[in-house]
Amino acid sequence: MSIEEIQSKANEVNNTQSSADIKWVNDLYQKYFDRTATQAELDNWTKANPQALEQFLAAEQKKYGYTSKSQDENYQKNLDAAYKIIDDAVANGSIPPDVAALWKEVARTYPKGAEFDTTKILNSFNDIKSKTIDPYYKELADIAMKDVKDSFAVLNASREREVEAQNATAGQNIRQAKAGLESAGMTFSGQGVQQLGAQSAYSQSGTKTTPGQIPFGGLFHEGTVNQANRLMMDDSAARYNAAIQDLGRAAENQLGSEAMKASGIPYTSAGVNLTGSIKTSKQEKLGGTLSKIIEQYRKKQASLVNKDLLK
């Protein structure tokens, strides 16, 4: 067959194909393989429909590992748009930074032909977060804070009773010492000063009828009875302060430094901004929930892009 006859035959075939059919076939080949269709491809696919050709080209593209320029451009455009939504969600406090980093990493694994459902993902995530996760962890934190404040109140009540008992004991000790000195006729003796110090019959400054104590190193005698009372109270105060410190640190580990600032418990913080086990657990739950939602949408998009292979 001569060249003229071949060209004539091709013209006859082309005349049976509308310009609209030729266009959609060429557009799809351009979309997936950066080229127009051959005459044989036009002959074959203008008789079919766009859906069938798109499924075929997607399968061929996957088979040969080819990505078109338009898909690369759309992928980067969609990825940039997704990153902006993610960054905005971090900025307004919807998601923590570590969850956002995970989200971005997963977004990069989306098929290049897929559409990003970033807004839908965020809406689904926020719905679960607001209805389930936030209320659950808020309740945990509220219960923990109430327990801490109740424990602090019990500790203070116990401290008040202990101080009251100590004051009574201290007063009894002084009264017994004075009675013992009086019965022994040693009220105005050095023994009285030794036991009672400033509370002995000797005054610190002295009067016309009563001699004064002689200070040692600028100080007057404390007295062994007063010293015992003081040590008893100091030891009690130290135990109380240690109990507050233990309570505050344990609560900080659970609730975090920020929450404990408003607790009213006078403990010394660990010196770092602790997150707290409850908040850490919540962040892990948020991350796991978001990962599941992202994976569901990723699989959905993959199935849409490769639906002919997943039938």
Q: Which amino acid is at 228?
A: A
Token reading at 66: 């080819």
- How many Å apart are CA 234 and CA 154, to the nearest integer? 20
- How many Å apart are CA 139 and CA 2, to the nearest integer? 87
Place of tokens 């945990």: 140
- How many Å apart are CA 95 and CA 128, to the nearest integer? 12
Of 202, 203, 180, 178, residue with least CA distance to 190: 202
Q: What angle do CA 307, 308, 311 make, to 5 degrees?
A: 80
Contact 36, 30 (CB under 8 A): yes
pLDDT for residue 303 is more than 70 = no
Does the model's pTM come out above 0.85?
Answer: no
For residues 91-108, one letter each, b for 16 or more C-beta atoms within 10 angstroms of the residue's C-beta and e for the rest, the string is: eeebbbeebbebbeebbe
The pLDDT of 127-147, averaged and rounded, is 92
Instruction: Give 208 or 263, the one with higher predicted confidence.
Output: 263
Helix (H) / strand (E) element for 288: namely helix 277-305
pLDDT in tens, 50-90: 888 988 988 888 788 788 888 888 888 888 888 888 888 88
pLDDT in tens, 218-271: 445 666 767 777 777 888 888 899 999 999 999 999 999 888 988 888 888 877
Residues contacting 282, CB < 8 A, separation 6+: 133, 137
What is the share, in percent, of the chain residues with pLDDT greater than 70?
A: 70
